Chain A
Amino acid sequence: MKEEHEESNRRNFLKLGLLAGTATLAGIGLKNKIFAEGTEKTGEKVKVLTADGKVVEVDSSAIAHPSEEKLAQFNIRQGIPGKKFIMVIDLARCANARKCVEGCQSMHNLLPPIEYLKVKRMQDTEITAPYWFPQTCYQCDNPPCTKVCPVDATFKRTDGIVAIDSDRCIGCKFCMAACPYSARTFNFGRPQSQKNFEAHKNDKDKCCTTKNATEGTVSKCDFCPEHSANGKLPSCVTECPNGTIFFGDENEDAVTNGDETFRLKELLRSRAGYRQFEELGTKPRVYYLPPVKRQFPFEEATEVHNKEE
Protein backbone atom coordinates (compact mmCIF):
# COMPACT_ATOMS: atom_id res chain seq x y z
CA MET A 1 0.00 0.00 0.00
CA LYS A 2 2.68 2.35 0.94
CA GLU A 3 4.70 1.53 -2.18
CA GLU A 4 1.76 2.15 -4.43
CA HIS A 5 1.20 5.43 -2.77
CA GLU A 6 4.79 6.39 -3.19
CA GLU A 7 4.66 5.25 -6.79
CA SER A 8 1.69 7.43 -7.56
CA ASN A 9 3.28 10.28 -5.67
CA ARG A 10 6.37 10.00 -7.78
CA ARG A 11 4.27 9.94 -10.89
CA ASN A 12 2.35 12.94 -9.71
CA PHE A 13 5.56 14.71 -8.88
CA LEU A 14 6.91 14.11 -12.30
CA LYS A 15 3.68 15.18 -13.92
CA LEU A 16 3.60 18.32 -11.90
CA GLY A 17 7.19 19.13 -12.60
CA LEU A 18 6.67 18.64 -16.27
CA LEU A 19 3.60 20.81 -16.21
CA ALA A 20 5.39 23.55 -14.32
CA GLY A 21 8.33 23.46 -16.61
CA THR A 22 6.19 23.57 -19.70
CA ALA A 23 4.13 26.38 -18.28
CA THR A 24 7.29 28.37 -17.61
CA LEU A 25 8.65 27.81 -21.01
CA ALA A 26 5.33 28.53 -22.62
CA GLY A 27 5.03 31.69 -20.68
CA ILE A 28 8.43 32.91 -21.75
CA GLY A 29 7.83 31.89 -25.32
CA LEU A 30 4.51 33.63 -25.39
CA LYS A 31 6.02 36.77 -24.05
CA ASN A 32 8.69 36.72 -26.71
CA LYS A 33 6.13 36.27 -29.38
CA ILE A 34 4.02 39.14 -28.24
CA PHE A 35 6.87 41.56 -27.95
CA ALA A 36 9.21 40.28 -30.65
CA GLU A 37 10.04 42.03 -33.91
CA GLY A 38 9.04 40.08 -36.99
CA THR A 39 11.02 40.11 -40.22
CA GLU A 40 9.73 43.37 -41.43
CA LYS A 41 9.91 44.55 -44.95
CA THR A 42 12.93 46.77 -45.34
CA GLY A 43 11.15 48.99 -47.79
CA GLU A 44 14.06 48.76 -50.22
CA LYS A 45 13.10 47.67 -53.65
CA VAL A 46 15.59 45.63 -55.57
CA LYS A 47 15.43 44.66 -59.22
CA VAL A 48 15.69 40.96 -59.85
CA LEU A 49 15.34 38.76 -62.86
CA THR A 50 12.73 36.04 -62.52
CA ALA A 51 13.33 32.56 -63.83
CA ASP A 52 11.48 33.36 -67.03
CA GLY A 53 13.52 36.45 -67.81
CA LYS A 54 11.24 39.18 -66.50
CA VAL A 55 12.62 42.04 -64.48
CA VAL A 56 10.56 42.67 -61.36
CA GLU A 57 11.02 44.76 -58.29
CA VAL A 58 10.72 43.04 -54.96
CA ASP A 59 11.37 44.03 -51.41
CA SER A 60 14.96 43.29 -50.60
CA SER A 61 13.99 41.14 -47.63
CA ALA A 62 12.69 38.62 -50.13
CA ILE A 63 16.09 38.12 -51.71
CA ALA A 64 17.75 34.92 -50.65
CA HIS A 65 21.47 34.54 -50.13
CA PRO A 66 23.33 36.25 -52.95
CA SER A 67 25.08 33.24 -54.35
CA GLU A 68 21.88 31.30 -54.55
CA GLU A 69 20.80 33.63 -57.33
CA LYS A 70 22.22 33.18 -60.75
CA LEU A 71 25.27 35.32 -61.27
CA ALA A 72 23.82 36.83 -64.40
CA GLN A 73 21.17 38.57 -62.38
CA PHE A 74 23.75 40.87 -60.90
CA ASN A 75 24.53 43.03 -63.88
CA ILE A 76 27.97 44.23 -62.94
CA ARG A 77 27.64 47.47 -64.92
CA GLN A 78 24.38 48.44 -63.29
CA GLY A 79 24.79 50.49 -60.17
CA ILE A 80 22.37 49.94 -57.32
CA PRO A 81 19.84 52.68 -57.99
CA GLY A 82 19.74 55.69 -55.72
CA LYS A 83 22.80 54.75 -53.70
CA LYS A 84 26.23 56.29 -53.44
CA PHE A 85 28.37 54.16 -51.20
CA ILE A 86 30.97 55.74 -49.00
CA MET A 87 33.33 54.47 -46.35
CA VAL A 88 34.93 56.11 -43.34
CA ILE A 89 37.83 54.46 -41.55
CA ASP A 90 38.58 55.56 -38.00
CA LEU A 91 42.32 55.31 -37.56
CA ALA A 92 41.94 55.94 -33.83
CA ARG A 93 40.37 52.53 -33.48
CA CYS A 94 42.51 50.33 -35.70
CA ALA A 95 44.64 47.96 -33.65
CA ASN A 96 45.87 45.74 -36.48
CA ALA A 97 43.57 42.93 -35.42
CA ARG A 98 43.35 42.04 -39.14
CA LYS A 99 39.90 40.57 -38.69
CA CYS A 100 38.77 42.79 -41.56
CA VAL A 101 41.46 41.24 -43.76
CA GLU A 102 40.40 37.75 -42.74
CA GLY A 103 36.76 38.53 -43.41
CA CYS A 104 37.56 39.95 -46.83
CA GLN A 105 39.79 37.00 -47.72
CA SER A 106 37.08 34.57 -46.74
CA MET A 107 34.38 36.54 -48.55
CA HIS A 108 36.32 36.58 -51.83
CA ASN A 109 38.05 33.21 -51.44
CA LEU A 110 41.49 34.80 -51.40
CA LEU A 111 44.64 33.32 -49.95
CA PRO A 112 47.49 35.43 -48.62
CA PRO A 113 49.60 37.19 -49.94
CA ILE A 114 46.83 38.29 -52.26
CA GLU A 115 44.73 40.84 -50.40
CA TYR A 116 42.08 43.30 -51.48
CA LEU A 117 42.23 45.02 -48.13
CA LYS A 118 45.65 45.73 -46.72
CA VAL A 119 46.55 46.99 -43.26
CA LYS A 120 49.72 49.00 -43.42
CA ARG A 121 51.91 50.45 -40.75
CA MET A 122 52.25 54.11 -41.59
CA GLN A 123 54.42 56.73 -40.03
CA ASP A 124 54.22 60.09 -41.67
CA THR A 125 57.44 61.58 -40.32
CA GLU A 126 60.27 60.47 -38.10
CA ILE A 127 58.96 62.03 -34.95
CA THR A 128 55.22 61.58 -35.40
CA ALA A 129 53.47 58.51 -34.10
CA PRO A 130 52.97 55.44 -36.25
CA TYR A 131 49.46 54.18 -36.88
CA TRP A 132 47.73 51.25 -38.53
CA PHE A 133 46.20 52.07 -41.86
CA PRO A 134 43.57 49.79 -43.43
CA GLN A 135 43.46 50.45 -47.12
CA THR A 136 40.83 49.29 -49.60
CA CYS A 137 40.15 50.36 -53.13
CA TYR A 138 38.85 53.87 -52.74
CA GLN A 139 36.30 53.70 -55.60
CA CYS A 140 37.49 57.14 -56.64
CA ASP A 141 35.14 59.67 -58.18
CA ASN A 142 37.84 60.71 -60.66
CA PRO A 143 39.32 57.29 -61.18
CA PRO A 144 42.73 57.17 -62.89
CA CYS A 145 42.17 53.46 -63.55
CA THR A 146 38.98 53.67 -65.61
CA LYS A 147 40.51 56.37 -67.77
CA VAL A 148 43.22 54.11 -69.09
CA CYS A 149 41.39 50.81 -69.51
CA PRO A 150 41.48 50.02 -73.25
CA VAL A 151 38.42 47.76 -73.34
CA ASP A 152 36.04 49.28 -70.78
CA ALA A 153 36.60 46.37 -68.41
CA THR A 154 36.73 48.66 -65.40
CA PHE A 155 34.21 51.42 -65.05
CA LYS A 156 32.52 53.71 -62.59
CA ARG A 157 28.94 52.84 -61.65
CA THR A 158 26.16 55.20 -60.65
CA ASP A 159 26.36 53.92 -57.08
CA GLY A 160 29.95 55.08 -56.77
CA ILE A 161 31.54 51.66 -57.04
CA VAL A 162 34.38 51.20 -59.53
CA ALA A 163 33.71 47.70 -60.78
CA ILE A 164 35.59 45.23 -62.95
CA ASP A 165 34.03 43.02 -65.58
CA SER A 166 36.21 39.91 -65.45
CA ASP A 167 34.78 38.68 -68.71
CA ARG A 168 36.07 41.78 -70.49
CA CYS A 169 39.48 42.28 -68.93
CA ILE A 170 42.37 41.54 -71.30
CA GLY A 171 45.03 41.62 -68.60
CA CYS A 172 47.11 44.54 -69.84
CA LYS A 173 47.52 45.79 -66.25
CA PHE A 174 47.42 49.42 -67.29
CA CYS A 175 44.87 50.10 -64.54
CA MET A 176 47.30 48.66 -62.02
CA ALA A 177 50.02 50.96 -63.31
CA ALA A 178 47.67 53.91 -63.12
CA CYS A 179 46.39 53.37 -59.57
CA PRO A 180 48.46 55.50 -57.18
CA TYR A 181 47.22 53.49 -54.19
CA SER A 182 48.31 50.09 -55.56
CA ALA A 183 44.81 48.88 -54.79
CA ARG A 184 44.50 46.36 -57.58
CA THR A 185 45.76 42.82 -57.82
CA PHE A 186 46.34 40.57 -60.80
CA ASN A 187 45.56 36.90 -60.99
CA PHE A 188 48.79 35.35 -62.19
CA GLY A 189 47.40 31.90 -61.59
CA ARG A 190 49.15 31.29 -58.30
CA PRO A 191 48.68 27.53 -57.87
CA GLN A 192 47.55 27.48 -54.24
CA SER A 193 45.15 30.35 -54.84
CA GLN A 194 43.64 28.71 -57.90
CA LYS A 195 43.09 25.49 -55.94
CA ASN A 196 41.40 27.52 -53.23
CA PHE A 197 39.05 29.09 -55.74
CA GLU A 198 38.12 25.70 -57.12
CA ALA A 199 37.49 24.30 -53.67
CA HIS A 200 35.22 27.19 -52.65
CA LYS A 201 33.53 28.05 -55.89
CA ASN A 202 30.11 26.84 -54.80
CA ASP A 203 30.15 28.47 -51.39
CA LYS A 204 27.02 30.32 -50.46
CA ASP A 205 26.91 33.91 -49.35
CA LYS A 206 30.21 34.89 -50.88
CA CYS A 207 30.77 37.98 -52.98
CA CYS A 208 30.79 36.88 -56.56
CA THR A 209 30.91 40.10 -58.59
CA THR A 210 34.68 40.39 -58.39
CA LYS A 211 35.73 37.14 -59.92
CA ASN A 212 39.37 36.99 -58.94
CA ALA A 213 39.33 33.37 -59.93
CA THR A 214 39.55 34.32 -63.61
CA GLU A 215 43.22 33.93 -64.43
CA GLY A 216 44.79 36.72 -66.39
CA THR A 217 42.45 39.43 -65.10
CA VAL A 218 42.64 42.21 -62.57
CA SER A 219 40.49 42.42 -59.45
CA LYS A 220 40.16 44.52 -56.31
CA CYS A 221 37.98 45.48 -53.39
CA ASP A 222 34.47 46.13 -54.69
CA PHE A 223 32.58 47.33 -51.56
CA CYS A 224 30.73 43.98 -51.62
CA PRO A 225 27.80 45.16 -53.77
CA GLU A 226 25.64 42.07 -53.33
CA HIS A 227 25.65 42.56 -49.59
CA SER A 228 25.09 46.27 -49.91
CA ALA A 229 22.16 45.78 -52.26
CA ASN A 230 20.45 43.68 -49.59
CA GLY A 231 21.14 45.96 -46.67
CA LYS A 232 23.99 43.86 -45.35
CA LEU A 233 27.30 45.43 -44.52
CA PRO A 234 30.54 44.31 -46.21
CA SER A 235 32.42 41.75 -44.18
CA CYS A 236 35.33 44.07 -43.35
CA VAL A 237 32.87 46.34 -41.57
CA THR A 238 31.21 43.63 -39.54
CA GLU A 239 34.33 41.65 -38.71
CA CYS A 240 36.26 44.46 -37.06
CA PRO A 241 36.20 43.99 -33.29
CA ASN A 242 36.72 47.71 -32.75
CA GLY A 243 34.25 49.02 -35.27
CA THR A 244 36.97 50.81 -37.21
CA ILE A 245 35.31 50.79 -40.61
CA PHE A 246 32.10 52.68 -41.22
CA PHE A 247 30.06 52.15 -44.35
CA GLY A 248 26.99 53.85 -45.69
CA ASP A 249 25.14 55.66 -48.41
CA GLU A 250 26.26 59.22 -49.02
CA ASN A 251 22.78 60.12 -50.23
CA GLU A 252 21.42 59.16 -46.82
CA ASP A 253 24.20 61.03 -45.05
CA ALA A 254 24.71 58.13 -42.65
CA VAL A 255 27.49 55.61 -42.03
CA THR A 256 27.54 52.70 -39.64
CA ASN A 257 29.99 50.12 -38.40
CA GLY A 258 27.24 47.70 -37.47
CA ASP A 259 26.78 49.04 -33.95
CA GLU A 260 27.04 52.77 -34.15
CA THR A 261 25.51 54.93 -36.82
CA PHE A 262 26.56 58.52 -37.41
CA ARG A 263 25.61 61.37 -39.69
CA LEU A 264 28.36 61.26 -42.29
CA LYS A 265 28.95 64.97 -42.61
CA GLU A 266 28.92 65.51 -38.87
CA LEU A 267 31.36 62.70 -38.31
CA LEU A 268 33.79 64.03 -40.88
CA ARG A 269 33.45 67.56 -39.58
CA SER A 270 33.87 66.79 -35.92
CA ARG A 271 36.65 64.28 -36.40
CA ALA A 272 38.50 66.16 -39.17
CA GLY A 273 38.09 63.50 -41.81
CA TYR A 274 40.45 63.55 -44.77
CA ARG A 275 41.23 61.52 -47.88
CA GLN A 276 44.52 59.88 -48.71
CA PHE A 277 46.62 61.78 -51.26
CA GLU A 278 43.87 64.30 -51.80
CA GLU A 279 46.23 66.38 -53.94
CA LEU A 280 46.34 63.70 -56.62
CA GLY A 281 42.79 64.66 -57.49
CA THR A 282 41.43 61.14 -57.61
CA LYS A 283 38.53 62.05 -55.24
CA PRO A 284 38.43 58.85 -53.21
CA ARG A 285 35.19 57.68 -51.63
CA VAL A 286 36.94 56.50 -48.48
CA TYR A 287 37.59 59.05 -45.75
CA TYR A 288 39.95 58.62 -42.85
CA LEU A 289 39.54 59.93 -39.35
CA PRO A 290 42.94 60.85 -37.95
CA PRO A 291 44.38 58.74 -35.12
CA VAL A 292 43.67 61.33 -32.45
CA LYS A 293 42.46 60.29 -29.00
CA ARG A 294 43.20 56.69 -29.79
CA GLN A 295 41.12 54.07 -28.11
CA PHE A 296 44.28 52.14 -27.28
CA PRO A 297 47.99 52.81 -27.71
CA PHE A 298 49.83 51.83 -30.86
CA GLU A 299 51.34 48.36 -30.79
CA GLU A 300 53.81 46.99 -33.27
CA ALA A 301 52.91 43.85 -35.12
CA THR A 302 54.05 40.72 -33.38
CA GLU A 303 54.04 38.41 -36.34
CA VAL A 304 55.17 38.67 -39.91
CA HIS A 305 52.46 38.03 -42.45
CA ASN A 306 52.47 36.76 -46.00
CA LYS A 307 55.97 35.38 -46.20
CA GLU A 308 54.85 32.37 -48.20
CA GLU A 309 55.27 32.81 -51.93
Chain B
Amino acid sequence: MINQMKVYIYFLIMCMSVFFTSVSYAQEKEAKLTISFTQIDSVNVCKALVTSDEKGVKDVSVKLFVHRLFGLLPVGEAVSTDENGIAIFKFPSDIPAESNGKLSVIAKVEDDDNYGSLDAKGEINWGIVKNLSGSEKMERSLSASRERAPIYFMVTSDLIILGIWGTLIYIVFQVFKIKRISNANKKNN
Protein backbone atom coordinates (compact mmCIF):
# COMPACT_ATOMS: atom_id res chain seq x y z
CA MET B 1 0.00 0.00 0.00
CA ILE B 2 2.73 2.33 0.99
CA ASN B 3 4.61 1.49 -2.15
CA GLN B 4 1.61 2.39 -4.23
CA MET B 5 1.31 5.66 -2.38
CA LYS B 6 4.88 6.33 -3.20
CA VAL B 7 4.29 5.64 -6.82
CA TYR B 8 1.36 7.99 -6.86
CA ILE B 9 3.43 10.66 -5.14
CA TYR B 10 6.28 10.27 -7.63
CA PHE B 11 3.78 10.53 -10.48
CA LEU B 12 2.23 13.64 -8.97
CA ILE B 13 5.59 15.28 -8.59
CA MET B 14 6.53 14.43 -12.15
CA CYS B 15 3.29 15.79 -13.48
CA MET B 16 3.60 18.98 -11.52
CA SER B 17 7.17 19.52 -12.69
CA VAL B 18 6.22 18.92 -16.26
CA PHE B 19 3.20 21.13 -15.83
CA PHE B 20 5.11 24.02 -14.35
CA THR B 21 7.92 23.96 -16.83
CA SER B 22 5.56 23.56 -19.67
CA VAL B 23 3.40 26.37 -18.37
CA SER B 24 6.35 28.66 -18.37
CA TYR B 25 7.18 27.49 -21.82
CA ALA B 26 3.65 27.25 -22.99
CA GLN B 27 3.15 30.96 -22.47
CA GLU B 28 5.58 31.47 -25.21
CA LYS B 29 4.83 29.81 -28.32
CA GLU B 30 7.75 30.94 -30.36
CA ALA B 31 6.91 34.19 -32.12
CA LYS B 32 9.01 36.80 -33.79
CA LEU B 33 8.34 40.44 -34.29
CA THR B 34 9.97 42.37 -37.06
CA ILE B 35 9.64 45.93 -38.11
CA SER B 36 9.89 47.46 -41.56
CA PHE B 37 9.41 50.84 -43.10
CA THR B 38 7.71 51.67 -46.33
CA GLN B 39 5.63 54.29 -48.00
CA ILE B 40 2.00 53.84 -49.05
CA ASP B 41 0.59 56.61 -51.25
CA SER B 42 3.54 58.82 -50.23
CA VAL B 43 2.61 58.47 -46.58
CA ASN B 44 5.26 57.14 -44.24
CA VAL B 45 4.14 53.80 -42.87
CA CYS B 46 5.69 51.44 -40.38
CA LYS B 47 4.82 47.78 -40.63
CA ALA B 48 5.14 45.40 -37.70
CA LEU B 49 5.05 41.72 -38.58
CA VAL B 50 4.34 39.03 -36.00
CA THR B 51 5.21 35.57 -37.16
CA SER B 52 5.11 32.23 -35.46
CA ASP B 53 6.56 29.24 -37.22
CA GLU B 54 6.97 31.29 -40.38
CA LYS B 55 3.29 32.13 -40.41
CA GLY B 56 1.70 35.48 -39.66
CA VAL B 57 -0.25 35.65 -36.44
CA LYS B 58 -3.55 37.46 -36.22
CA ASP B 59 -4.96 39.75 -33.52
CA VAL B 60 -1.83 40.50 -31.65
CA SER B 61 -1.81 44.01 -30.25
CA VAL B 62 1.33 45.88 -31.24
CA LYS B 63 2.43 49.28 -30.01
CA LEU B 64 4.91 51.54 -31.70
CA PHE B 65 7.38 53.78 -29.89
CA VAL B 66 10.12 56.19 -30.75
CA HIS B 67 13.21 56.13 -28.59
CA ARG B 68 13.74 59.38 -26.67
CA LEU B 69 16.38 60.41 -24.16
CA PHE B 70 14.50 59.40 -21.04
CA GLY B 71 11.94 56.95 -22.31
CA LEU B 72 9.84 55.69 -25.16
CA LEU B 73 7.40 58.03 -26.84
CA PRO B 74 4.26 56.20 -27.96
CA VAL B 75 3.34 56.76 -31.60
CA GLY B 76 -0.34 56.50 -32.23
CA GLU B 77 -2.61 53.88 -30.72
CA ALA B 78 -2.07 50.13 -30.42
CA VAL B 79 -2.86 48.26 -33.61
CA SER B 80 -3.85 44.62 -33.87
CA THR B 81 -2.25 42.48 -36.51
CA ASP B 82 -4.37 41.42 -39.44
CA GLU B 83 -4.61 37.92 -40.97
CA ASN B 84 -1.11 38.19 -42.29
CA GLY B 85 0.28 39.17 -38.93
CA ILE B 86 0.95 42.73 -40.08
CA ALA B 87 0.11 45.80 -38.07
CA ILE B 88 0.32 49.02 -40.03
CA PHE B 89 1.13 52.33 -38.33
CA LYS B 90 0.91 55.68 -39.97
CA PHE B 91 4.15 57.30 -39.05
CA PRO B 92 4.07 61.02 -38.23
CA SER B 93 6.48 63.16 -40.14
CA ASP B 94 7.15 65.78 -37.48
CA ILE B 95 9.11 63.87 -34.87
CA PRO B 96 12.56 65.38 -34.25
CA ALA B 97 15.41 63.03 -35.06
CA GLU B 98 18.09 62.02 -32.59
CA SER B 99 21.54 63.46 -32.72
CA ASN B 100 22.66 60.90 -35.31
CA GLY B 101 19.94 62.13 -37.65
CA LYS B 102 17.84 58.98 -37.44
CA LEU B 103 14.86 57.84 -35.45
CA SER B 104 15.11 54.72 -33.35
CA VAL B 105 11.72 53.03 -33.67
CA ILE B 106 10.64 50.24 -31.36
CA ALA B 107 7.65 47.99 -31.80
CA LYS B 108 6.42 46.13 -28.78
CA VAL B 109 3.96 43.39 -28.05
CA GLU B 110 3.17 43.68 -24.41
CA ASP B 111 2.13 40.62 -22.48
CA ASP B 112 0.15 38.86 -25.17
CA ASP B 113 -1.75 35.83 -23.88
CA ASN B 114 -0.12 33.44 -26.27
CA TYR B 115 3.14 34.95 -27.20
CA GLY B 116 4.22 36.95 -24.15
CA SER B 117 6.22 40.09 -24.73
CA LEU B 118 8.09 40.77 -27.92
CA ASP B 119 9.91 43.72 -29.25
CA ALA B 120 11.77 44.79 -32.32
CA LYS B 121 13.87 47.78 -33.15
CA GLY B 122 14.60 49.62 -36.32
CA GLU B 123 16.18 52.82 -37.51
CA ILE B 124 14.83 55.12 -40.14
CA ASN B 125 15.64 58.62 -41.12
CA TRP B 126 12.12 60.01 -41.09
CA GLY B 127 12.87 62.42 -38.28
CA ILE B 128 13.18 66.16 -38.64
CA VAL B 129 16.83 66.98 -38.41
CA LYS B 130 17.42 70.23 -36.60
CA ASN B 131 20.61 72.02 -37.33
CA LEU B 132 21.66 72.55 -33.76
CA SER B 133 25.08 74.01 -34.39
CA GLY B 134 23.54 77.46 -34.62
CA SER B 135 21.76 77.25 -31.28
CA GLU B 136 24.81 75.89 -29.55
CA LYS B 137 26.64 79.08 -30.26
CA MET B 138 25.69 81.59 -27.62
CA GLU B 139 25.13 85.11 -28.70
CA ARG B 140 26.30 88.28 -27.10
CA SER B 141 23.88 89.57 -24.53
CA LEU B 142 23.59 91.17 -21.13
CA SER B 143 22.94 87.72 -19.64
CA ALA B 144 25.99 86.12 -21.22
CA SER B 145 29.42 85.55 -19.72
CA ARG B 146 32.04 88.22 -19.60
CA GLU B 147 33.56 87.40 -22.97
CA ARG B 148 30.21 87.71 -24.66
CA ALA B 149 29.10 91.10 -23.47
CA PRO B 150 27.38 93.18 -26.16
CA ILE B 151 29.92 95.10 -28.17
CA TYR B 152 28.26 98.49 -27.78
CA PHE B 153 28.37 97.93 -24.04
CA MET B 154 32.05 97.18 -23.88
CA VAL B 155 32.98 100.03 -26.19
CA THR B 156 30.93 102.62 -24.33
CA SER B 157 32.10 101.60 -20.89
CA ASP B 158 35.74 101.44 -21.97
CA LEU B 159 35.53 104.89 -23.51
CA ILE B 160 34.00 106.41 -20.39
CA ILE B 161 36.53 104.76 -18.10
CA LEU B 162 39.46 105.81 -20.25
CA GLY B 163 38.18 109.36 -20.50
CA ILE B 164 37.75 109.87 -16.79
CA TRP B 165 40.87 108.08 -15.65
CA GLY B 166 42.86 109.77 -18.35
CA THR B 167 41.83 113.13 -16.95
CA LEU B 168 42.71 112.04 -13.42
CA ILE B 169 46.15 110.84 -14.43
CA TYR B 170 46.75 114.07 -16.34
CA ILE B 171 45.89 116.11 -13.26
CA VAL B 172 48.14 114.05 -11.03
CA PHE B 173 50.97 114.73 -13.46
CA GLN B 174 50.16 118.42 -13.22
CA VAL B 175 50.62 118.24 -9.46
CA PHE B 176 54.05 116.78 -9.92
CA LYS B 177 54.74 119.69 -12.20
CA ILE B 178 54.36 121.94 -9.15
CA LYS B 179 57.25 120.13 -7.59
CA ARG B 180 59.32 120.46 -10.71
CA ILE B 181 58.70 124.18 -10.86
CA SER B 182 59.85 124.63 -7.30
CA ASN B 183 62.94 122.55 -7.97
CA ALA B 184 63.68 124.69 -10.99
CA ASN B 185 63.21 127.84 -8.95
CA LYS B 186 65.48 126.51 -6.24
CA LYS B 187 68.15 125.84 -8.84
CA ASN B 188 67.78 129.28 -10.22
CA ASN B 189 68.07 130.79 -6.78
Q: Are B96 and A35 in contact (CB under 8 A)?
A: no
Binds A, one of B20-28, B38-46, B155-163: B20-28
Residue pair B136, A31 in contact (C-beta under 8 Å): no
A20-B24 contact given A256-B70, A261-B68, CB 8 Å threshold: no
CB distance from A295 to the nearest CB of B (A): 20
Question: Which A residues are CB-close (under 8 A) to B72?
Answer: 261
Residue A297 interfacial (CB < 8 Å): no
Q: Are A146 and B71 in contact (CB-based, < 8 A)?
A: no
* B interface size (C-beta, 8 A): 43
Is B21 a contact of A254 with CB atoms below 8 Å? no
A-B contact count (CB 8 A): 113
In the assembled complex, which residues on chain B have CB atoms less than 8 Å from the CB atom of A35? 28, 116-118
Chain A residues within 8 Å of B95, by CB: 253, 263
Question: Closest residue to B121 on the A side, CB-wise?
Answer: A40
B81 within 8 A of partner (CB): no
Tell me whether A300 is interfacial, beta carbon within 8 Å: no
Q: How far is the CA of A67 from the CA of B131 in the complex (A)?
A: 33
The CA of A35 and the CA of B109, in the complex, are separated in Å by 12
Q: Would you call A180 an interface residue if the criterion is a C-beta within 8 Å of the partner chain's C-beta atoms?
A: no
The answer to the question of A69 belonging to the interface, with a C-beta cut-off of 8 Å to chain B, is no
Q: Give, as a whole number of angstroms, the nearest-CB distance from A298 to chain B.
A: 29
The answer to whether B99 touches A82 (Cβ under 8 A) is yes
Q: Is residue A181 within 8 Å, beta carbon to beta carbon, of the partner chain?
A: no
Q: Which residues of A contact B135 (CB under 8 A)?
A: 84, 158
Indicate if the CB atoms of A20 and B132 lie closer than 8 Å.
no
Are B68 and A256 in contact (CB-based, < 8 A)? yes
> Does A241 sit at the interface, judged by CB under 8 A?
no
- A6: chain B residues at CB < 8 Å are 2
Q: Answer whether residue B14 sits at the interface, using C-beta atoms and an 8 A cutoff.
A: yes
Partner of A156, one of B2, B73, B143: B143
One of B5-13, B53-61, B167-175 contacting the partner: B5-13
**Known contacts A43-B100, A252-B68, A16 near B13 by CB under 8 Å:** yes
Tell me if B144 counts as interface (CB < 8 A to partner A).
yes
The digit string for B62-77, where 1 denotes a CB below 8 A from any CB of A, is 0000111111111000
A263 and B100 contact, CB distance less than 8 A: no
Asked if B82 lies at the interface with its beta carbon under 8 angstroms from chain A, I say no
The docked-state distance in angstroms from the alpha carbon of A155 to that of B138 is: 11
Cβ-based interface call for A27 (8 A)? yes
In the assembled complex, the Cα of A31 lies from the Cα of B27 at a distance in Å of 10
Residue of A nearest to B22 (CB): A27
Across the interface, name the chain A residue whose C-beta is closest to B6: A9
B17 and A31 contact, CB distance less than 8 A: no
Stretch binding the partner chain, chosen from A47-55, A182-190, A243-251: A243-251
A83 touches B69 (CB 8 A): yes
Knowing that A6-B2, A43-B100, A143-B143 touch, tell me 20 more A-B residue pairs with CB under 8 angstroms: A9-B3, A9-B6, A12-B10, A13-B13, A19-B17, A20-B17, A27-B21, A28-B24, A31-B28, A37-B119, A82-B99, A83-B69, A146-B144, A152-B145, A232-B70, A248-B68, A252-B68, A254-B70, A261-B72, A263-B73
- Measuring CB to CB, which residues of chain B are less than 8 angstroms from any residue of chain A? 2-3, 6, 9-10, 13-14, 16-17, 20-21, 24-25, 28, 66-74, 95-96, 98-100, 104, 116-119, 130, 132, 135-136, 138, 142-146
Which 7 A-B pairs rank lowest in CB-CB distance, beginning with the nearest? A20-B17, A27-B21, A256-B71, A254-B68, A261-B71, A261-B73, A82-B99
